[in-house]
Structure 1
Amino acid sequence: MMERGYLVSGRYEILDTLGEGGMANVYLAEDTILHRQVAVKVLRMDLQHDQATIRRFQREAKATSELSHPNIVGVYDVGTDNGMQYIVMEYVAGDNLKTFIDQHYPLPLPEVIEMMTQVLSAVQLAHSQGIIHRDLKPQNILVTASGQVKIADFGIAVALNDKSVTQTNSLLGSVHYISPEQARGGMATPQSDIYALGIILYELLMGKVPFSGDSAVTIALKHFHDEIPSLRQFNHQIPQALENVVLRATAKDPEQRYQSAAAMAADLQTSLDPERANEPRFVPVVADSNLAETKVLSDLPNEVRESELASPDQAATATNTEPDPVAPNVKRRLPKWSWWLIGGAGAVILIVALVLLLGKKDVTVPDLSGMSVNEAKLTLQDKNLKIGQTDYEHSNQVAKDLVIRSDPSVKTSVKSGSTVNLVLSSGAKTYTIGDYRDQDYDTVKSKLQRAGFTVKRKNKNSETVAAGQIISQSVKAKKKVVPKQTTITLTVSQGPALVSLRDLSMYTKQEAQEYAENVGLKVTFGTSEYSADFASGTVMSQNPAAGTSVASGSTITLVLSKGAEPASSSSAADSSSENQQTEETTTFDKTITIEPATASNDSESASGSSTTAGSTFLIYIGDAKNSLSTVYKKIENVTATQKLTLSFEVKDDNSATYRIVRDGVDYANETIKP
């Protein structure tokens, strides 16, 4: 054990103990140079003096340090401190997957698939570089707070394999995930890791491992004798396609498992698709008789092996074996007919041998999908097959340089020694983006969608680009992209911005010019005219009329009032005198109905009915007491139809005028008499 504060190699300060195992102890430490927290794994003291173990430990640790993947715990440093072998790794704050399952089970199926996809991606990288984990289990998979998973302990199980026979408790932790071939004492292969991944997927779905028992041997025997318990029998929510991933990954025969982690990931990612809802249950082919042989578990303590694996017959054979009583130098004489018999038997054996040598038996083409060329070559060699022609084609699902399919296809029966052609992925098909500026949006959109792009539109006003044509694009021209993975946004011109003209009546010349400048319009002034209704110097008319929508940059024409037309003094005096003698005043009322503006079609509700917004009404009255140039009354936020009564006062038989403006647009204008 290392004490807190101890500096490993003068650099890594021990802060705390993270865990103690049968093979190594792990500590939380501070890298005093880079000022970051790291995990330091140190071989147990009782293993520090075994040179073979040390060499394997260093070799595997260095190989693991070359695995750069977001789902693999990074290895920063490998070294020795006072004879202690250590590895400095990335510190991952969080629980291991075993604890995560215990605390969060049951997990949503999409989350299970996402976590397993991350694990499979990491294992695929390791396998592609010739590294087999050999001890995959939830305890060796860490889960961060964000849900990212990271595999730890790459290579440690390999380095300590020979010593594990003395670590019974360590084996008990791994035997739940051990493949049948490993349980028999066979060598671990990538398919051994695939088997462990299938057990881990089972545990994610069920919250427990498929096999349990009182001893490591009991559990190991179940791995190569018992079928994996049905997932759907206990949880009907699990689709058959998802259960099939578990069944195929845990097939007893390694050849019937996925041939790569990438192939397993590809199958897993579509297991929830509706198209696979009626998929039949995966049923492995009956295992070869060679698979039924049971060898002694090499990773079990001697006393366990002897007591639990050796049968009484084997024990008797081992203890009662006696040497051949006939000395090796004593010659036996055989009758002559025996030599004829031996010669005939030899001829028969020779003929059989020739038949076996010359005849080619049928073999089944393995599943090579997702493999690299080297992996496919080794897999075919195991079947006494060889690689023939290799061709490339684009694929959105299979990574570049990995096998898409074989010819003959998987499970096809061929003669031993035959060649198998491979179709490799050249990666996803790329598309060179063009320069779509000033082109018609609908035409470009149709072209891009046919190529597989997702196209989005963004509207923008422009005075230089015609309406409906493209102003800009989110992906630069000449860039090569994968259509299925790319969304391109096209900014489309709506033409110049439209301005709804305000009612400029009674604006001064300066006010009208300021308004026009603010909204991007040009203004000209026509010949001023006399008007008793508008004060001198104010706008009395405009063209286009108020409420008209015009493009930015358009010109409007305004006419200013010169005020009331002057009259001669004598006639004015006579008229005044006459009016004083004859004028009579009359008052009367007029009731008018006003309604708010109805919203445009763009503002219609989802039900299709139109909605109203509050309207503002300006009331102008021209009579003996009021001028049309002055607002008589202002009514705001009118949302419903209402009655409005106006009072007028006229002299003699003169008429009165009223004008109503709603939201800047003339609503009513009428001249009336009593």
Structure 2
Amino acid sequence: MNKYEAFIGKVLDGRYKILGLVGVGGMAFVLKAEDLAMNRIVAIKVLNDQYNGDEQAEKRFINESKAVAMLSSKHIVGIYDVAIYPDIKYIVMEFLDGITLKEYMDKKGKLPWKEACNYTLQILRALEHAHSKGVVHRDIKPQNIMLLHNGEIKVTDFGIAKTPNMPAVTITDKAIGTVYYISPEQAGGKETSYASDIYSVGVMLYEMVTGELPFVADSPVTIAMMQINDTPKDPHQLCPDIPVGVSQIILKAMAKSPDDRFTDAHSMLKAIDYVIKNPDVVFADESSKNGRTGKGVIDINMEDNDDLGDDLVASGEKKPKKKKRSRFANKIKEKQSSSLFPVITGVFFAFFIVVLTVGGYILIKWLPLLFQSDEPNEFYVRDLLGMEYTDALKSELESQSYMVTVKEGYYPGRGFGKIILQDPTSGPKRLTGEICRITLTVNKYPDELTVPDVKYRKASDAERILKKYNLDSTVEYVTDTFANEGQVVRTYPEIGASVDAGRTVTLYVCKGSGTSTAKMMPDVLGLTLDEAIKKLDEAYYKYKIEQVESLKPKNTVVEQSIAPYTTGLEAWTVVTLKISKQSNMTTVPKLTGETFERAQELLSAAGLNLGRKFYDENSSEPVGTVLQQSIEDGTEILTGTEIDITISGKKIVYADAVPEVLGKDFIEAQLEMVQAGYVVKFEYVISDKPENTVINQSIAAGSEGYEEGTEVVLYIAEASNKTKVPKLFGMTLVEAEQLLISKNLRLGEVTYDPESPFTPGTVVEQSILAETEVDGETYINITISGADTSAPVE
């Protein structure tokens, strides 16, 4: 019986009955289990024994639970529970009945482009949600995508995900993920962002529609360098059946610079959705539009596409159908009037009234525009995104010289009635005349909704949320072990189910508080108060709030009275949260005249961030002096704002600190050096160290201040070909030859001395003295005592 089978039939923590083994990975294994408390099948991911006590492995394991716990999407595997004990660590998650996308692709090979796009849409919806919570996956690849039997996609394995509270510099900020799918910035060891995930999605879509990877080579180092430097082949050229629009989307997602990729997952999602509906489309982007606008020019970034109409509507919303006129309508015969004069008179007056009404509207609405100046005016367009569109807002905008046009669209997760798009976007614009024409897209109720997550919310709050989603509600009372009195335990239809607008949802509300054990204490440090309260409610804790002075943003949790990951506490134990009451405003310090290093210190002390750096090579000031700052000192601004600066001198791009590579394999060492910004040269040295390992480096580990491209020499161990001659005296011929062979030496000429006083048949002399160091394969001549018994007798 192996160690995995020993779990089967056991019950973990008195709750999870192990049913079988699902799979085994390098760091963990996954078990299928029955959750006896919730009466459901779950998957339990258990950290392998050899990694218990391994700080990096445990951090990665805990990081996965923390990352997914922040998320709630039907396209992301759900996590129900986490247990961290000295002898065992496991995560309880949603059980997925399906196969990995990698397994599916290996089985089917190249996928039909529409099928591939459908899977990609679901992956992008998962990433759109994750990115909205500040989570970057950083390991998007087919092996981490589950394909369920119903065609639904689930994104898994957030073990190396970057979360909002992760320290700025971590080990996993280096080249992470699988080399075939990592972005150029990951391969180069630079900071990762949402754009890194978009690049990986582009690689996956490339592989799905072409049946091959964009970059393949013999070594991971070579592939990483190809990700950084090489341009992939055009998918449409490899497979002409792929629409040009799909090929354009892939190549944009795989742009080398993050700034040249899609601005976010939603933009890429919209582009794919559009090409599915319009396969013949050829997109334009900022580099190819050349100022063209109007119908037929579709921006691949999906910005300012007013002619898309219903294509802005998300999946699940049905387009209104045009009513067909009945073919019998034209056959209805009206009785003829005995006189046509009354009819003509009535038609004339009706037409006259319509003309007066329309003419009056045109005069009121458009007459002011006739007297506008043709000179362009500066106009600062307000940022209206996220605001609720009301008659009051419309009146306010019209009083501020806006002419408003309203469209309807649907964006899941945004409030209904909220503005989700505006054209033009906010910021300074040059307009002709005094009126700003603005088009607002307002989130509307779709024909099909999903039941929102109201579990453990107060019944009154749940009813309000359902009403906001255009859903009715009714309440039934039940008993529950974990919930507080008045909290929603479950719903029917269940949370996440698709329902029609106006559907009645039954809320099952706890009528009595139960007593049991709370879940593991969540880590809420750095979260907003609302986010922290939600996590505590889900883990069955009550809370008390204290405000403290802090440099953190207002209402941020800076301290919790119970340490994160504590277990075994009673349900509804009170935890005290200390939150920041600092104002979000700060004063811009004076940076001009300071050194670059001092400017960084001043910005950090003021709670501000360094933005872009510009350089003035012609300045007479000392090199490294700040000449200008983008926001004048003394200005009151929000903390976290970026300040751009101009520095005297030539721009120098510095490499990272020199990594420590002693003892590492030379390929691994080269990759680390390249990622840090250095050029590597190898020199081989005879050594007794393991072959092909680094035994020395020309620049000491940890050294800083070197420009990118600085050469580092790595000294690589090479096995010595030298050997020492053994002592052969007194050995027989056979023994001497065997010993020489074991020392990588060869037996040379054998002579015999019949007059030797030593034991006959033994070595009495050798051509090279013992302990002499010689090259391998050297021949050693020997003399044997006695006559040559092998010679024929005459």
- What range describes the TM-score normalised by the shorter chain of this pair? 0.3 to 0.5
More helix by share: 1
TM-score between both structures, scaled by the size of structure 2: 0.37
Q: Which has the larger radius of gyration?
A: 1
Higher RCO (CA 8 Å, separation ≥ 6 residues) = 1
